[in-house]
Amino acid sequence: MALPSEGPLNGLSAVVTGAGRGLGRAEALELARLGAAVVVNDFGQSGRDGSGEACAAPAEEVAAEIRALGGRAVAHTGDVADFRQAKELIAAAIDEFGRLDVLVNNAGILRDRMVFSMTEDEWDSVIRVHLKGHFNTTHFAAAHWRERSKAAGGEQVYGRIVNTSSEAFLAGSAGQPNYAAAKGGIVGLTTSTALALAKYGVTANAICPRARTRMTEDVFAGFQLPDEGLDPLAPEHVAPLVGYLAAPAAAGINGQLLVVHGGMVAIVERPRVQAKFDSKQETFTYDELDALLTPHYADRPPGETFAAADVLGLKRG
Ligand SMILES: NC(=O)c1ccc[n+]([C@@H]2O[C@H](COP(=O)([O-])OP(=O)(O)OC[C@H]3O[C@@H](n4cnc5c(N)ncnc54)[C@H](O)[C@@H]3O)[C@@H](O)[C@H]2O)c1
């Protein structure tokens, strides 16, 4: 399959983190298919928990795959959670392709454990790769776009950020306190970034993908591959939405959260205030709160929390 010569991302350059495997690989290929020149980043460790030596092969193989299809791609094999290496990653796109237009933050690891058993290192490493990793690249990309806008006398530039959250944040995930917290943090980072960069012409959105990758191979082991057609859990179902959000057509979409898998996209509504109570005095007392909140929660099913468990039931159909 050769890449088409014209596409909505023609002339644009993109960075995709963690693109040596899984979802990031599918997203990098899709951005290239739509016409973007791509920096394929991956630190390349062998363990999905971030264990093992750094390895250049995953990023280099995907970059070579894109070039073999007729696209433009280079590999970057750094750690996105390292501030200096993230700076080099954004600089690599600017050096290689003249500027950066699209940043897809996707790199991630898993270290699952119940909150009462989790070690400090399991907590820190997952927060570091996901949340700090997203911040690091966003910081340097945002500085680049602000500089370009200033140099153009305050004109808007082209910038797109697609971040990767998870249903583990939205729906809650008892065995993943570190991961759910990092993914919730990424949604906060996304809305903050969306507000801060809108005036420069830059959008930031987040997706909650679902796909069969090495990260989820045991979770989805029970879901058999169909005899024919695309696996409903293939990462290729997620990539088109990332390509679309990166494109000029998505200019009006900013600060949004979308669930995507298996030929389905669901737009998540923002949290809304469900009930409001005002103190009859200057401020609340214990007794007043007890009188208002205890009956309010009395009939609520005990398992019902802020978590949006119903998103787990979304499927095509
Ligand atoms: N697979 C799913 O169902 C699912 C669901 C929700 C969210 N996600 C998220 O999607 C993203 C991609 O996950 P995946 O399922 O493709 O997993 P994956 O393990 O197949 O791919 C993740 C890639 O990130 C790379 N990576 C890890 N740490 C890195 C670092 N510090 N710097 C650079 N690269 C690094 C890994 O080497 C790997 O190639 C992750 O953020 C994950 O949390 C996945």
Q: How far is the CA of 24 from the centre of ligand 1 (A)?
A: 7
* Residue 3 covered by a domain: no
C-beta of 42 in contact with ligand 1 (< 6 A): yes
C-beta of 25 in contact with ligand 1 (< 6 A): no
Q: Are 5 and 42 in contact (CB under 8 A)?
A: no
* Residue 48 covered by a domain: yes
* Residue 282 covered by a domain: no
Three-class secondary structure assignment of 248-277: HHHCCCCCCEEEEECCEEEECCCCCCCCCC
Ligand 1 atom nearest the C-alpha of 210 is 3
* Residue 315 covered by a domain: no
Six-digit token pair at 67? 């070039």
Q: Is the pTM of this model over 0.95?
A: yes
- pLDDT tens string, the chain, 317 residues long: the values are 677 768 999 999 999 999 999 999 999 999 999 999 999 999 999 999 999 999 999 999 999 999 999 999 999 999 999 999 999 999 999 999 999 999 999 999 999 999 999 999 999 999 999 999 999 999 999 999 999 999 999 999 999 999 999 999 999 999 999 999 999 999 999 999 999 999 999 999 999 999 999 999 888 887 777 778 888 999 999 999 999 999 999 999 999 999 999 999 999 999 999 999 999 999 999 999 999 999 999 999 988 999 998 899 998 76
C-beta of 22 in contact with ligand 1 (< 6 A): yes
Residue 83's domain comprises 13-267
Element (H, E) at 18: none
* Residue 317 covered by a domain: no
* Residue 309 covered by a domain: no
C-beta of 165 in contact with ligand 1 (< 6 A): no
Nearest CA to ligand 1 atom 17: 215
Ligand 1 atom nearest the C-alpha of 220 is 3
305-308 contacts: CB < 8 A, separation 24 or more?
Answer: 305/172, 306/271, 307/170, 307/171, 307/172, 308/170, 308/171, 308/268
Does 179 participate in catalysis according to the annotation? yes
Q: How far is the CA of 156 from the centre of ligand 1 (A)?
A: 32
Q: Are 28 and 266 in contact (CB under 8 A)?
A: no
Nearest CA to ligand 1 atom 19: 215
Nearest CA to ligand 1 atom 25: 18
Q: pLDDT by residue (tens digit) across 148-170?
A: 999 999 999 999 999 999 999 99
Sheet holding 159-164, edge to edge: 73-76, 37-41, 13-16, 102-104, 159-164, 202-209, 257-261, 264-267
Q: How far is the CA of 22 from the centre of ligand 1 (A)?
A: 7
Q: How far is the CA of 258 from the centre of ligand 1 (A)?
A: 18
Q: pLDDT by residue (tens digit) across 84-112?
A: 999 999 999 999 999 999 999 999 999 99
CATH number at residue 133: 3.40.50.720
* Residue 134 covered by a domain: yes
Does 166 participate in catalysis according to the annotation? yes
Pocket test for ligand 1, best of 48, 89, 187, 213 (most atoms within 8 A of CB): 213
Chain mean position to CA 129: 12
Nearest CA to ligand 1 atom 9: 164
Nearest CA to ligand 1 atom 27: 108
Six-digit token pair at 78? 């750094």
* Residue 143 covered by a domain: yes
The total number of structural domains in the chain stands at: 1
Does 183 participate in catalysis according to the annotation? yes
